[in-house]
Amino acid sequence: MGDQADSLRLAAGRQLDSRTGQPDSAQQCRVLAVTGGKGGVGKSNVAVNLSLALCEGGARVLLMDGDLGLANVDLLLGLNPKYTLQHVFDRQVQLPDIIMEGPLGLRILPGGIGLPELANLHTLDIVRLLGLLRLLESEHDLLVIDTAAGIGQLVTRFALAADDVIIVTMPEPTAMVDSYGMIKALKKGQLRGRLHLLVNMVGRPGEDIQFHRSLAAVAKNYLGLELQLLGSLPRDEEIVRCIKQHSPFFVTFPDSPASQEMRRIAGVFLRSLGLVPKRRDQGFFARLVNSVK
């Protein structure tokens, strides 16, 4: 698995520092893989809204739907792609031909729907895909890959090609087990990128910190991996409504707690690119209320 991981990183253009084994910060395009050990944790929703927050901060972002057989990024954005990665693999169109424009300047590479042949790509196919993506590096600061659910080979291979892996989970026992399974799979594949945790659907204060503390301790003690707490998103009915209406919460409710947290998280990666996160000024009435608290 180590040789495969190295070939994937090479195809993705990831140059590792020979002393630290970490990705070279001088790379022009940084790769973020958003993944999770199970479905239903809000992984794609996080990938979409994080990508939008990165765009708002001034980064040139390409969001790739890495769930190649059951893609849904375009649905979350309310888009209807004419071409998908299936057409690229069938050599009907070139990769740049399928890129779609989304809100805030976000660019999207749609996957396919109901296409098992895409969901079961072999290593050489994945290397070819990453090689094609590498051709787009000069046009983007960040490539965000929304992986499929689970810990299949396609998921782990995308994650191993990334500079940063964001594991999205929920504060519940089954999600913790699945998240640990993902971390264990990445360890087996000789993960060299940074590993982050984002706890979604948090119901009470401190729940995310407690969850991270438990999972990070297990990852450190049994796998020797550092798991950083990137942030958390609250359990919010507004977010659920946005998903049903195919509208990202970052666009529909830009001043909501979830959007503010997404800006903070985006700032972590923007600063690594030398970009200063933009602050969104509160409206007049919000400032007035805060002034008398």
Q: Evaluate whether 210 touches 180 at the Cβ level (below 8 Å).
A: no
Band of residue 158 on the pLDDT scale cut at 50, 70, 90: confident
pLDDT confidence of residue 90: 81
CA distances 189 to 157, 192, 193, Å, are 8, 9, 11
Band of residue 154 on the pLDDT scale cut at 50, 70, 90: confident
Element (DSSP H or E) covering residue 101: strand 100-101
Residue 1, pLDDT above cutoff 70:
no
What is the distance between the alpha carbons of residues 288 and 262, in angstroms, rounded to a whole number?
Answer: 24
Q: Evaluate whether 157 touches 186 at the Cβ level (below 8 Å).
A: no
The correct answer on CATH 3.40.50.620 for the domain covering 29-277 is no
pLDDT confidence of residue 24: 47
Among the residue ranges 56-65, 187-196, 271-280, the one predicted with the least confidence is 271-280
pLDDT confidence of residue 199: 97
CA distances 251 to 10, 51, 127, 183, 184, Å, are 35, 12, 34, 32, 35
Residue 14, pLDDT above cutoff 60:
no
pLDDT confidence of residue 57: 96
- Look at residues 268, 262, 270 and name the one whose alpha carbon lies nearest to residue 280: 262
Among the residue ranges 33-37, 128-132, 159-163, the one predicted with the least confidence is 128-132
What is the distance between the alpha carbons of residues 179 and 173, in angstroms, rounded to a whole number?
Answer: 10
pLDDT confidence of residue 54: 98
Q: What is the pTM of this model?
A: 0.84
* Domain positions in the chain: 29-277
Angle, CA 212 vertex, CA 206 and CA 217 arms, to 5°: 135
Band of residue 280 on the pLDDT scale cut at 50, 70, 90: low
* 88-115: average pLDDT: 86
pLDDT confidence of residue 63: 96
83 against 213, higher pLDDT: 213
pLDDT confidence of residue 285: 36
